[in-house]
Structure 1
């Protein structure tokens, strides 16, 4: 049997993970007082954003320990299963390295570690695709090949309310954050080639949606054969225009809706929302 494993940066809720039959390894968030929470386990996103608003210093995030991966991989090996692990971009986190160390510690040769080169909802779309292939009875090697191909065609574009969260977290250079953070301007970012990049800006919230949808078109448009996703940090109403764009303008199925979790939300900050999709060049 093939097991699909991911990390909490994919922002699945525990209920979603159980329904999909996947294993989620949590990343960590450390507050200024030294207390540590496990992403998606110890706090809900809403609880976390309330705590974040009271922080004088931005919390830090860190990858899971190799021991967590070792346990998951050894358990799978004991039951004769192979593991396809689809993890947050190696350029954003040390999670892939922890997974590889965990596989070495477990002495396992049943593990395939995939650097998704992305995060959050785009990472989740890759995981959902792997689940679909698993449920179709595809072997691990075929799933890995498909995901390695699909990750070249998955896109994530987001509107950020305050780039200082990305700057303070080291995910965006200070000069770029300053240039994109003018008063009244909503910056647009993407995860491209594994890194966070500033891709534009717009004045006001209505302008931000227009700019976001133009970026979607500029990335090649949406492949109707595959699923889409729309996520938010604090306000679920902020993804309603994205739903309308995908379902009414493009006549696509409803996107997967979700809330950006503690780790990614630390860097995205409150007031962020995003869309993810596969472009039309993806064929499997």
Structure 2
């Protein structure tokens, strides 16, 4: 049997995890001196409540090699082959921990993929890997296809507030004050494994025009799933989905709520979409 493993930054719901038949290993979230296990004893709703009230931004700790060894050994003992698709190595040391674990276990039954992505982009790749497994492809065939697809993943999102980008040192306090006063909202993407500011717009009409232009430039390949995401902003996400679905015949889509790793920097109110470009 082929087992697909990922980490909790994929932000897939428990229902989607079961539907896809995958195993999710959680990261740890640290608020001050208090540790929480992502998605286990800290829900997405509770995370954003704490994010708004705590003075300091939380941090996330990478999954350590021992945790991967324990997870890998459980399936190896059953004679399974493992594909681990993990968040970008530019955002966390989690992928490197998996590399260390594989080296310590000395087996060719573990296949590791640095997704170069996170949250909805990672969820997209994990979903496609699950689909390929269910179609009967071998582990090596799945890995080959996901390695190709990960370079075609496009992720774009609108950030509702500059507060958390400023608190995290990604923009200056002065820029945050001026931007907030003018109603300017940054538009971000994940490219080459890191979160980058793609542009800044004022007003929903201009933001959606920016995204429409981005979609025209990169063209959604509708044979693959499209993943939508929000950070406690379902109403705003509905508007974004309607705008995209008016132009594209999307056959398969999934929605995730942006969790702690990206949510720490974008805060509540963000919406985004990830897709495979043609």
Fold match, TM over 0.5? yes
Within 2, Cα distance between the matches of 1:145 and 1:169?
36
Q: Deviations over 1:205-234 (max 9, x none)?
A: 33222222222222x111111110110001
C-alpha distance in 2, partners of 1:93/1:30? 15
Taking the aligned partners of 2:75 and 2:174, their CA distance within structure 1 comes to 43
Question: Hey, what does 1:115 align to over in structure 2?
Answer: 114
Deviation at 1:48, TM superposition (A): 1.1
Contact between 2:85 and 2:114, CA under 8 Å: does it hold in 1? yes
- Indicate how the Cα distance of structure 1 residues 70 and 168 shifts in structure 2: closer, same or farther if over 3 A, else same: farther
1:25 maps onto 2:22 in alignment = no
- Show CA shifts across 1:103-150 (max 9, x none): 233343311111101111111110011001000111110000000000
Q: Look up the match of 2:139.
A: 140
For residue 228 of structure 2, the aligned residue among 202, 227, 230 is 230
Q: Which runs of 5+ in 1 are unaligned?
A: none
| Number of the residue aligned with 1:57 | 56
Change (3 A) 1:177 1:191: farther
Shift of 1:247: 2.2
1:43-73 Cα shifts (integer Å, max 9, x gaps):
2111111111110111111211211111111
Q: Corresponding residue for 2:237?
A: 239
Distance change in 2, residues 1:167/1:134 (3 Å):
farther
Give the whole-Å Cα distance in 2 for the aligned partners of 1:169 and 1:87.
23
- Could you tell me which residue of structure 2 aligns to residue 149 of structure 1? 148
Length-normalised TM-score, structure 1: 0.91
Q: Which stretch has the larger CA shift, 256-265 or 227-236?
A: 256-265
| Distance change >3 Å, CA 143–CA 181, structure 1 → 2 | farther
Could you tell me which runs of 5 or more consecutive residues in structure 2 were left unpaired when the two chains were aligned. none
Identify which range, 244-253 or 59-68, moves more after superposition.
244-253
* Separation in structure 1 between the aligned mates of residue 177 and residue 211 of structure 2, nearest angstrom: 15
* RMSD over aligned Cα atoms: 2.0
Report SS of the residue matched to 2:151: coil
In structure 2, how many angstroms separate the alpha carbons of the residues matched to 1:259 and 1:134?
Answer: 25
SS at match of 1:47: helix
What residue number does 1:128 align with?
A: 127
Pairwise CA distance, 1:175: 6.1
Count of paired positions? 276
Structure 2 CA distance for partners of 1:195 and 1:175, relative to 1, 3 Å:
farther
Once the two structures are TM-superposed, the CA of residue 168 in structure 1 deviates from its matched residue by 4.3
1:182 partner SS: helix
Task: For residues 133-177 of structure 1, give each alpha carbon's deviation from its aligned partner in whole angstroms, at most 9, with x where no partner exists.
Answer: 00011111000000000001011001112345345446x4x4699
Q: Is the 8 A contact 1:228 1:278 kept in 2?
A: yes
Distance in structure 2 (CA, Å) of the matches to 1:169 and 1:88: 20
Give the 3 Å change call, closer, same or farther, for CA 206–79 of structure 1 in structure 2. Answer: same
1:234-265: CA deviation from partner (whole Å, max 9, x where unpaired): 12111112221232221223521121112221
Indicate whether 1:210 and 2:209 are aligned.
yes
Cα offset, 1:188, TM superposition: 0.4
TM norm structure 2: 0.93
Structure 2 contact 7–87 (Cα < 8 Å) conserved: yes
